[in-house]
Amino acid sequence: MIQSKNIDFYYSDFHALKGISMEMEAHTVTAFIGPSGCGKSTFLRLFNRMNDLIPGTRLTGECIVDGRDIYARGVNVDELRKQVGMVFQKPNPFPKSIFENVAYGLRVNGVGDRKFIEQRVEESLAGAALWNEVKDKLKKSAFELSGGQQQRLCIARALAVKPSVLLMDEPASALDPISTSKIEELIHELKKDYTIVIVTHNMQQAARVSDKTGFFMLGDLVEFSDTKKMFLNPDKEQTQNYITGRFG
């Protein structure tokens, strides 16, 4: 389970997130929607402490993953990131072979057992619905794959370290409709084993894949409820306007 309690976040003096509190159940898919620049990515990146890389940021409030405040003193960030995987908006495979891309997370964890790595790579690629397409060219450069395949490779790469949470920041925005639907199917599958948080600009996508949806605007969490309710009968007028505006 993931939880945020009264989160305020600043880029230097820019107040990017304002008092956000929400809970995401294990083995559910939560979608974040909202206009560009409203803070969805910022919020998502809090949960694997990716925002730590940006100098001058400041946070108050609590971020809880599996009952632990991940911003508390003494938290091992590298360990946290193994537990909370991330898939980025643009596919970003390493300039290495397909195999080495997936094996990367294991190697940096000090796993040296060839058999084990091979098995985990196959498992992960299968889990990302990519195994059949690449099993004969694992030694080839990851750059030889199509954009959609690269994104699934990045998902496989994240799965290989067996996280419990998967953060996805617009994972299908750079992809064609067929690749997109493949990724959506995949999310459905992965839900069984992972807690998934996904940012998307695509309303239908949010409606299709998620159990719960959060609507952000200008750093505020305007509304957070079951996806069905959100799209059929939202509480707030702002939500209604945004959703229908996009649908219309």
Partner 1 sequence: MKRFRRIVEKIAEGMLTLSGAVTTVTILLIVVFLFREGLGLFKSPAVEKGYALCVNVANPVDRLTPFQIKQIFDYAIVNWAELGGKDEAIELFRFDDIFSRYSDEELGAENDYALLPDKLGEVVASSPGIIAFLPEEYLPRDLKGVRMLRSEHITAGDFFGGREWIPTATPAPQFGTLPLLLGTLWVSIIAIFIALPLGLGVAIYLSELANEQTRKLLKPAIELLAGIPSVVYGFFGLVVLVPLVQKAFGLPVGETGFTGSVILAIMALPTIITVAEDAMRNTPRAMREASLALGATHWQTIYRVIVPYAKSGISAAVVLGIGRAIGETMAVLMVTGNAAVIPKTLFAPLRTIPATIAAELGEAPAGGAHYQALFMLGCILFLITLVINITAEAISKRQHNKGL
Ligand X SMILES: Nc1ncnc2c1ncn2[C@@H]1O[C@H](COP(=O)(O)OP(=O)(O)OP(=O)(O)O)[C@@H](O)[C@H]1O
Report, in Å, the least distance between residue 167 CB and ligand X.
Answer: 12
154 binds partner 1 (CB under 8 A): yes
**Tokens at residue 53, please?**
């890389």
Write out the residues near ligand X by the rule CB under 6 A.
Answer: 11, 14, 16, 34, 36-42, 54
Judged by CB under 8 A, the stretch of 46-54, 111-119, 131-139, 232-240 that binds partner 1 is: 46-54
Lookup result for tokens 């299709």: 208
Residue 234 binding: pick among partner 1, Mg ion, ligand X, none (C-beta 5-8 Å cut-off by kind): none
Judged by CB under 8 A, the stretch of 155-163, 174-182, 208-216, 228-236 that binds partner 1 is: 155-163
114-127 helix and 147-159 helix, angle to the nearest 10 degrees: 130
How many Cα atoms occupy the beta-carbon half-sphere of 134 within 13 Å?
32
Query: What are the contacts of 9-12 at 24+ separation with CB within 8 A?
Result: 9/39, 9/42, 9/43, 9/46, 9/51, 9/57, 9/58, 9/59, 10/57, 10/58, 10/59, 11/42, 11/54, 11/56, 11/57, 12/56, 12/57
Report, in Å, the least distance between residue 54 CB and ligand X.
Answer: 5
Applying CB under 8 A, among 1, 88, 111, 122 the residue interacting with partner 1 is 88
200 binds Mg ion (CB under 5 A): no
Count, residues near Mg ion per rule CB under 5 A: 1
Question: Residues in the site for partner 1, rule: CB under 8 A?
Answer: 48, 50, 53, 55, 78-79, 81-82, 85-86, 88, 90, 92-95, 104-105, 107-109, 141-144, 154, 157-158, 161
Question: Residues in the site for Mg ion, rule: CB under 5 A?
Answer: 41
